[in-house]
Amino acid sequence: MKGRFWDNWQVAVIASEPVDLLGHIFATGFTGLLIDGHGYADGGSMIVDQYRNLTGVTPVISSDNRYAFFDLTRLMEEKKKAITGTQYENEKEQYIMSMMARPELQDPLFGVDIRDQLLG
């Protein structure tokens, strides 16, 4: 729901630099990234190129060129191989707890200005 922790978390993640965003999604177990080019002046081409360069993954582009989907399964599995399953689960829990400890992410008004910028 809008203004609750996980909504605010998403706003904070989206406002992150691409390399930081990849860290956020790794820590929470996501294995894909969808970019809607409609939200960018250049149709998303620059941000898609940034993620392509950071991940080495070629995205699947929708037929209308609006959406780019990065399947990050292999990349995330490679990152997980560097640590044990227990270490990953501990890091994931620590990450979530550290994010939940951020008081601004508990504020129902957090991200209103960021949402306005993102949604135009």
Residue at 115 is within a domain: yes
Residue at 53 is within a domain: yes
Place of tokens 């360069």: 53
- pLDDT for the residue numbered 120: 54
- pLDDT for the residue numbered 114: 61
Same domain? 66 vs 78: no
- pLDDT for the residue numbered 35: 95
- Per the structure, the count of domains in the chain is 2
Residue at 99 is within a domain: yes
- pLDDT for the residue numbered 97: 87
- pLDDT for the residue numbered 58: 97
Same domain? 78 vs 93: yes
Beta bridge partners of 103: none
Tokens of 68: 């780019």
Residue at 23 is within a domain: no
Domain of residue 42: give its range: 32-71
Same domain? 57 vs 80: no
Residues 6+ apart with CB under 8 A from 111: 7, 8, 11, 12, 15
Residue at 110 is within a domain: yes
Same domain? 67 vs 87: no
Residue at 26 is within a domain: no
When computed from its CA atoms, the radius of gyration of the chain, rounded to whole angstroms, is: 15
Same domain? 9 vs 39: no
What average pLDDT values come out for the chain (120 residues) when binned by 10 residues? 74 88 90 92 95 97 97 92 89 86 76 60
Same domain? 6 vs 41: no
Residue at 101 is within a domain: yes
Report the predicted TM-score, pTM, of the whole model to 2 decimal places: 0.77
